Structure formats: structure tokens, C-alpha cells
Homo-oligomer: A and B are copies of this chain.
Amino acid sequence: MAKRCIGVDIGGTSVKLGIFDTEGTLIEKWEIETRKTSGGRDILKDIAETIKAHLQDLNLKADELAGIGLGVPGPVMPNGFVEVCVNLGWRNINPQEELRALIGADILIRSNNDANVAALGEMWQGGGKGYRDLVMITLGTGVGGGIILNQRILGGNHGMAGEIGHIHVRDEEQEICNCGGRGCLEQIASATGIVREAVRRMTNTDIPSPLRSKDKVTAKDVLDLAKAGDPLCEEVMETVGRYLGLITAQLSMVVDPEAFVFGGGVSKAGVYLLDITEKYLNQYCSISSKKADLRLAQLGNDAGIYGSARLILD
């Protein structure tokens, strides 16, 4: 029988797991709660137990596994060491070493940051399939990024590679970002950023909009109204697309990928968002007529388990 690999995406509230064949077919997926009590010490125990139980159910021996990949919500050193992972309560731990001991077999275990792993997953079986070099931009509560070069994650030297949400793009911004900086991409293009841009525009202009009658504005409201032709929301999305065009232009003149893959809740705006982004990518990047393709992510919340499993096949 062909070997299997397991992808584990460790999140702040749940751990997602998937068993794959080496061709990328998902055989089974499930999830467990993330037990964050006692400094997150139980998380890896729970993962080891649920994996052992599933291997038994599937009648798979540990040596029929090609390996286990872990996606961790924080910076991971090349040797797997995690200095601090706020979301899980981890400090000075090597989760891949610990999990190997807990599984109790000499099995290949690799780990990487969750945003990087999601990018790898989209390259393997999602919106980036067929590309070797891509940048994934995840537009969710924040803005995350993952860079794949020659089918491998670009890890960086200080845990910052692909942290494009905190690139400074707007000089006139007055509010402070979560990172302590000011004018970060995340302050404009995340779901939170879109809401803030819309609220600002309602405060600073008289442009009428159905948005004004909402008790609480969501990014989805803004996206839906913009697509329906509401001028105020169109302006907001034009601004968001302009900064996404700027960042894709910057990334094109740095890593020059084959494609950008947009994921996260905001990317549900779909082709509407890609079209505005492309217009500004062309404007901000005049040095070459050939540009990277703009694509939408396809794996949703499963990108992490796909990418973690793919870590093993390098």
C-alpha cells in the first residue's frame, strides 16, 4: 500500500487533522479541541493520542506513515524549536521532537508556521496548483502571508519571511497597529481594516449608503454593498484593492513569483477584488509587461492540513 502522511493544523481553539496519500488525496479529516490549560502541555499529548487511535482504526502501522507535519500559529525555527507561541501558551518547546517521543516510533515529523503551511497547501492541491513559486496573501482578521519558492517554504532568518501584513504602506495613518507600527497593510486590507475604512468614510463624508443604517458594520456588508454598486463601499474596496495592488507590485519586484493566491474571508469578494488589485498591480509595476497571475485560494480552512502533510514530501 502507498504510504500515508498526516497533516496537523494547530489553532487556538481547535486542532485540525487530515490523513492523505502522497498524491494529495484527503482520506479522512477530523478535529479536536485545543486544550490550552497548563501552558499548552496537553496539546501534543492529545494530538499523539488521536493520531494513534486513527491509525489503529485504519489498521495503519506507524511505519506505513511517510510522516506527520505540524502547522504552528507562531514562528518556528528551522530545527522545529518554538521560542514562544502566544496563542497556545507554548514557550521554549520543540513540538516536533516532543510529538515524536509521544508517538513512540521513529517517524519523520516536520513543522512550520501556519501561514507558510497554508501557502504550501494551496500550492499542492488548491488555488496555486501547478505553480512552483507563489505568494499566498490571507485576508482574514489580520493579513498573513506565505512565500513558496521552488515548491518550498521561504523560512527567513528572524521569523519574518512573508509577514506582509505588517509592511508599512500608508504614511498618513495615525492609528497604531497591533504590531506597534503605523500604516501597516493589515490596517487597511484585513476584515477589521475594511470595517474601519468604511466607518471612517461614513464619518468623514456625507455619501449616502445603506451601510449607515447598520448597527454593526461587518467586512461582508462592505464587500456585498460594493459589489452591488454602493458608491461609499466601492470607494472603500477601491482603496483596499489599491494597497493590495501596491503590495503585489512590491512583492513582484522582490521575489517575482508566478502567482499570488488570495485566501481568507475577504477573498470571498472573488474576481471583483482580483480585478481592482490587478489594475493597481499594473500601475505600480511598470518595469515589466509580464506579471504574476492572481488566483483565489480553494482549500478554505483545510489549507493548513494539506500544507502540513505536504511538508513531509519534500
Say whether A288 contacts B250, CB under 8 Å: no
Give me 12 other A-B pairs in contact (C-beta within 8 A), A158-B288, A161-B253 excluded: A156-B256, A157-B257, A158-B252, A158-B290, A159-B288, A161-B254, A161-B255, A163-B253, A166-B253, A167-B254, A171-B171, A255-B255
Q: Does A213 contact B (CB under 8 A)?
A: no
Which residues does chain B contribute within 8 Å of A149, judged by CB atoms? 149, 154
- Assess whether B252 is in contact with A255, with CB atoms less than 8 Å apart: no
Contacts of A155 in B (CB 8 A): 256
| A1: interface (CB < 8 Å) | no
Contact B286 A167 (CB under 8 A): no
Docked complex Cα distance between A157 and B148 (Å): 13
Q: Which of A266-298 contact B (CB under 8 A)?
A: 283-288, 290-292
Does A181 lie at the interface of the complex (its beta carbon under 8 Å from any beta carbon of B)?
yes
With A149-B149, A180-B286, A284-B181 as contacts: A167 and B133 at CB distance below 8 Å? no
Do most interface residues of chain A lie in helix, strand or loop, or is the interface mixed?
A: loop
Copy count, this protein chain:
2
Instruction: Check B255 against A154 for contact (C-beta < 8 Å).
Output: yes
Q: Which B residues are CB-close (under 8 A) to A180? A: 286-287
User: Within A130-157, which residues are at the interface with B (CB < 8 Å)?
Assistant: 133, 147, 149, 154-157
- Contact pick for A159, options B133, B179, B256, CB 8 Å: B256
**A291, closest chain B residue (CB):** B158
Measured as residues with beta carbon below 8 angstroms from the partner, the interface class of chain A is: 35 or more
Out of B167, B171, B246, name the residue touching A168 (CB < 8 Å).
B246
Residues of B within 8 A of A249 (CB): 167-168
Q: Are B160 and A256 in contact (CB under 8 A)?
A: yes
Which residue of chain B is the closest to A168 with respect to CB atoms? B284
A286 to chain B, nearest CB (A): 4
Given A166-B287, A167-B249, A250-B168, residue A256 in contact with residue B161 (CB < 8 A) = yes
In the complex, A286→B179 CA distance in Å? 6
- Minimum CB–CB distance from A137 to chain B (whole Å) comes to 12
* Chain B residues whose CB sits within 8 angstroms of the CB of A159 once the complex forms: 256, 288, 290
Q: Separation in Å of the A292 CB from the closest CB of chain B?
A: 7
Closest-CB distance, A36 to chain B (whole angstroms): 23
A34: min CB distance to chain B, Å = 24
| Alpha-carbon distance between A181 and B154 when the two chains are bound, in angstroms | 29
Do A167 and B250 have beta carbons less than 8 Å apart? yes
Q: Which residues of B contact A284 (CB under 8 A)?
A: 168, 181
Q: Which residues of B contact A154 (CB under 8 A)?
A: 149, 255-256
